[in-house]
Amino acid sequence: MIRTAIIKPDHLGDFILAIPAIRAILTEFGSADIYCSHGSTFLKRHFFPAASEHPITLAYLSKLDDGMSTDSLVKQLSGYDLVFFLRGDNVMHSVADQLRSFAVISDHDDNIHETVLHKKVIEPILGRYSRSDLFHQQDRVWPEKRSTYGLCVSAGFFSNKWPVTYWHKLAMMLLAGGAAQVVLIGGQAERIELEMLFRGIPSDKKRMVVGDTNVREFLADVSTCDVVIGTDSGTLHICSSVVPTLGIFTSSPWRRYAPFGRGNRVITLDLDCSPCVQFSRSTLNACLSRECGVMLKPKMVIDALELSGSQPQVRNLGLAKVVDGVSHLDNA
């Protein structure tokens, strides 16, 4: 039996985007040990309960600068015959180069969707597979009729955030436009922000969902929405597994990290400074204006919601771009 390991040590949204690749590997080999971050273990247990679990936190990926060294990871992986690295940065390449086992490692390219990067490197080993068939649910289409809107205020990084005043204005505009309900969505870190928004919306057509490690219950709550609008975050990616999403992409690379599926949509200014240097640990992020988010107004988001069509495409909307099915643009 081939001892196989899957390495996915990064954040929540990254783990969701790795679902097709992980499922393809498990289908081919029957079993594999999944090395994921401590913060992602609840997702692993929900989506892959039968697979062996090895929680790790690598220091260079930790937002708190704590965790294990890559030398320790090399030692843990030394007993495997085959190792799939579903993260392809320089550090992971260094770890792969030190192993005697056969290592398969993803590329790093912000202009290619993450699921495509995984597919390109593992298909030569596994054979062809369909990302859509192996995602949590089959592809959906963009909902032309909507009455319940989820507003996901979470953000993976500070510069991904959208102003709270914009969320409030968007909620008021949706309700004024006839929305049956606005659902405020976030994680434990956004609880206070959600409560502030909830109190500030003078309507009984509102509800609040605060996620935790109970994925099944959270997805049941979210699935009552016709569409979820949110900034780039793990919470938005989790929502995308059950409901179409409109991603407000400010500073992060939308081509790579847009939620998976033809039925999902992204709005972005696609500025020359994107992706932001927030993704570098050696460059000072001295941006004070944050125009990537401030210039994306609530009215622009409303206009993006109203566009018809579901096939993968790029459309101009004033200063912004609206992109349908980012993960499938290369196939269009």
Domain shared by 155 and 129, yes or no? no
pLDDT of residue 61: 87
The Cα–Cα gap between 124 and 70 comes to: 27
Structural domain includes residue 140: no
Measuring CA to CA, which residue among 114, 131, 142 is closest to residue 264? 142
Q: Which of 134, 163, 181 is the last residue of a domain?
A: 134
pLDDT of residue 145: 94
* Residue 137 neighbours by CB distance under 10 Å: 12
pLDDT of residue 227: 97
The distance in angstroms from the start CA to the end CA of the chain is: 39
CB contact at 8 A, 159 and 277: no
Domain shared by 178 and 83, yes or no? no
Domain shared by 88 and 180, yes or no? no
> CA triplet 257, 325, 264: central angle to 5 degrees?
80
pLDDT of residue 258: 97
Domain shared by 104 and 81, yes or no? yes
Q: What is the pTM of this model?
A: 0.94
Measuring CA to CA, which residue among 206, 232, 198 is closest to residue 148? 206
Structural domain includes residue 160: yes
- Give the domain CATH number at 244: 3.40.50.2000
Containing 54, the helix (H) or strand (E) segment is: strand 52-56
Domain shared by 199 and 233, yes or no? yes
Domain shared by 191 and 314, yes or no? yes
pLDDT of residue 276: 79
Flag residues of the chain having pLDDT under 70.
63, 65, 137-139, 278-286, 331-332
Domain shared by 159 and 288, yes or no? yes
Domain shared by 39 and 125, yes or no? yes
Query: Which structural domain, as residue segments, surrounds residue 27?
Result: 4-134
Measuring CA to CA, which residue among 8, 118, 105 is closest to residue 55? 8
